Amino acid sequence: MSQWHSKQAQEIINDAEVNPEMGLTDEEAAKRLNQYGKNNLTEEHRVKFLEIFREEITEPMILLLFAIGVLYSVLGFVTGSGFIDAITIIVIIILLVLAEVYNEYRAKHSISALKQLAPPIVQVLRNGQTVIIQTGDLVPGDIVFLKVGQRVPADGRLLEAYGLEVDESSLTGESLPVAKDATAVLAGETRITDQTNMVFTGTVITRGRGKALITATGIKTELGRIVGITKAGKEPKTPLQLSMKQLSKTLVWVALFFSILIPLLSYLRGLQSDPAEAVLYGLSLAFVVIPEELPIIITMVLGVGSYALSRRGAIVKRLRAAETLGNVTVIATDKTGTITENKMRIEHLYFDSKIKGTGAFHENEKAALKTALLASDGIKPDSVHLGNPMAQAILEHLKQNGIDASTVAKDWIFKDEYSFDVNRKLASYIYKYGNANIVLSSGAPERLLANSVKVLLRGEETPLTETLRIEISQAITQMARAGERLLAFGYHRISTEQTDSQTNIEQDSVFVGIIGFIDPPRKETKNVIRTCQQAGIKVVMITGDHPETAKAIATQVGINSSNVLTGMQIAQMSDETLKEALKRTYVFARATPEDKLRLVKLLRENGEVVAVTGDGINDAPALKEAHIGIAMGVRGTDVAKEAADVILTNDNFAVIETAIDQGRKLNSNLRKGVRYYLACKVALVSIFLVPIILGIPLPFAPIQIIVLELFMDLAASATFIAEPAEKDSMKKKPTEKTEKFMNQTMTKGIFAGAASLFAAVTAMYLFTWFITQNVPYSQTVAFATWMFGHIFLAFNFRSEQTPLVKQGVLSNKVMLLWALLAIMMLLIGTNLAFIQQALQITSLNLTDWVLVILVSFVATFWMEIRKLVQRSDNF
């Protein structure tokens, strides 16, 4: 192991063969990547078709189907059904298993693909340019930039460190952040815990910024040596997936009960003279009724739906989030960059006791902006690297007025910084100017005002009297009411020995001025918030901004701003009082991450399903506490993204509304698919009851029952995934959190659908049997009625309240294709002799077909009439 910590920085640069001002070239980086391998501690679990195939065919219920198929084939030979039945059932089993394996593979592949859409990224120097790459492509010799909230991507030797502190608890167990020093050269035997000139993979930047040269990647890092390469775990099952799997196990026993009861009653009634024939019926029913596909339907809808969501700008990291999205009742959002454009521009400046617009700026105001630029970000003469949008806005304004930023920092030597802290609400930068050390501070106006003892007026430092404090406070209120985001700035001369004390350097400051920035709301935000409110979702703004600024923006976008609570007021309220306030308060200002976490906890205690947005390292607890944590993909820190369930690729609030809409679509389609699936199962069992009671032949031959499975399950597991959202999905209130998936409405829908299908098939079978007494003919009519009936039922189940004519008969192309395929196969099967022989069916005339279609349509499309009536009653 090379002792990087014991070497001079230049020596390490030479060893790494890299120019620290240019970084590696793309060619050299590719060469080193091939030499050292990917910078991964985890070997990603790859979804393979054969692996899924092996998993599926070893599932107990699939094995049960195979066993039934084998028994059926053996008994088929015994009873004389013979070779054709055996081949038919084997082919059907293979087709069904392959279809289920493909569907499962497609769903899991979609889930796996989501992880590739949000890989960890890092800012590096390549070819003299700052670029963003995936951390897996990082190589020894790369120059990386470090910032607050970032998880260190690999081991590295620091080249620069400005107020840099790192949480190394994941590696060393030390709970306090470690201050780093790029200039240190340590003894060779120095332990990791004391290597202040190094950063290590997996640790987190908590303060400051820096630049490091990567010395080790992947398994060669300190953390890699400890844990080695591990295989990534599979996506855990969601609560709904687990409950559906348990429901499937319960339904197996129900299915087996009826699969034994029906043939037994049939035999006792004398409908089956041969016990083996009765067993064939039992095996056929078991084959069809056992709900082995139910868990797969859940996985498909969630997996494929989540992947579709990613294409709309919301990357779902965890499937449980996809399951919960549609039930969100509260969105707790920040303001900057989510509701607003996050494009700062200067609107006003308070300076020399006056508020001036940008058009009225003169030389004095421009000079004040130069000071503000130095106070808002640490700047070195040879490199302007700005880390926040306010500093960028000041820089852009200076450039527009012909002022070069490099000339601003010409005589100012940057020494250290104290990054912005949510508790201090200030950022401070230490410069050497001539022989003096000067601290330039910026942040919340009221906090800087409280720390100041003087104010700069017409170039003179004037004692800050109570009158002047009131005047400045009034200016703060006036600018904030206009919806401006405020940044106050000032300075403090310090002695050399004071530079190590953060508390001292930010006290006794000279207050210079306040910049008012405008960050206008995104154009689409107001309509999106209105849509969410119509959907019964409360939108709450939690921001660190001034109360007046928060109120102004909230008013502009349609959030109720009649009550505004500040962080100070929140801290003084008991939990019970705050829980009551949450029912009528929608705007929270000057809130800390601790306030945000507390608000989220209390919202949950109020019974709300909470989605929370966040981007900072301190937002991670609130993101974890929420039902759904939503991290910003552009400005979000690594820690926030790791804690979140969903990542927004463009930080746009509109995507949250889209995600919830799509979440509702997932839930709705899931319910429709399961409802249809179970309705068909119930209908099939019930169809045998009337013939048994009447003592007439059963409506389906065993082989016909098995063929029905081929079309029935493919429809249930595939076509509802492609169902578009109902047009009024965002006008309904969210589903209650306590409401069960298999609720009363769901149960009624299952039995209503089953009754419709039962009525159509039973009516047609009894009608033809009592007229003709011809078993093959009557069974063919029943078979055809079932095929058309369950196709019509699927179309009726496409929507719960929206009539099909409004939904669009042709809008679900997958279901339409399935229906056409099923009808085509039915027509071919009833007209080809060898299929007739295999399925024990016969041909039908035109009158038969008209009657079959008419009865099937009438028996199921009464649901559409009900939807139309209910819709007219609502208007």
Catalytic positions, written as ranges: 334
What are phi and psi for residue 395, nearest 5 degrees? -60, -45
Cα separation, 439 vs 444, in Å, equals 16
Amino acid letter, residue 310: S
* Both tokens assigned to 92: 């059907």
Cα separation, 694 vs 711, in Å, equals 29
Q: How many residues does the chain have?
A: 875
Task: Please measure the distance between the N-terminal and C-terminal CA atoms of the chain and give it in whole angstroms.
Answer: 77
Q: Which residue has the tokens 């019930």?
A: 686
Cα separation, 95 vs 656, in Å, equals 40
- 148: nearest Cα among 567, 615, 742: 615
Amino acid letter, residue 33: L
406 touches 420 (CB < 8 A): no
What are phi and psi for residue 513, nearest 5 degrees? -175, -175
Cα separation, 258 vs 276, in Å, equals 17
* Both tokens assigned to 146: 């470090």
* Both tokens assigned to 682: 């119930």
Distant-in-sequence, close-in-space partners of 785: CB < 8 Å, separation ≥ 6? 760, 761, 764, 765, 852, 855, 856
Give the three-class secondary structure for 337: coil
By DSSP bridging, strand 354-357 and strand 587-589 are unpaired
Give the three-class secondary structure for 307: helix
Across the strands, what pairs with 494?
437
Beta strands in 526-671 (DSSP E): 538-542, 564-566, 587-589, 610-614, 628-632, 646-648
Q: What is the DSSP letter of 521?
A: B
Cα separation, 499 vs 431, in Å, equals 10
Q: Would you state the torsion angle of the CA atoms of residues 806, 808, 809, 812, taken in this order, to the nearest 10 degrees?
A: -140
Cα separation, 146 vs 776, in Å, equals 78
Beta strands in 519-661 (DSSP E): 538-542, 564-566, 587-589, 610-614, 628-632, 646-648
Each residue of 582-619: b (16+ CB within 10 Å) or e?
A: beebbbbbbbbbbbbbbbbbbbbeeebbbbbbbbbbbb
518 touches 343 (CB < 8 A): no
Q: What is the CA radius of gyration of the chain?
A: 35
- 95: nearest Cα among 623, 822, 700, 714: 714
Helix (H) or strand (E) holding 134: strand 129-134
Cα separation, 585 vs 73, in Å, equals 69
Distant-in-sequence, close-in-space partners of 162: CB < 8 Å, separation ≥ 6? 208, 209, 210, 378, 414, 416, 417
Across the strands, what pairs with 110?
none
52 touches 102 (CB < 8 A): no
Q: How far is CA 758 from CA 261, 766, 823, 865, in A?
A: 18, 12, 19, 19
* Long-range CB contacts (within 8 A, 24+) of 83-90: 84/837, 84/838, 85/702, 85/703, 85/838, 88/703, 88/706, 88/707, 88/838, 88/839, 89/287, 89/703, 89/706
Cα separation, 483 vs 265, in Å, equals 78
| Cβ neighbours, 10 Å, residue 707 | 25
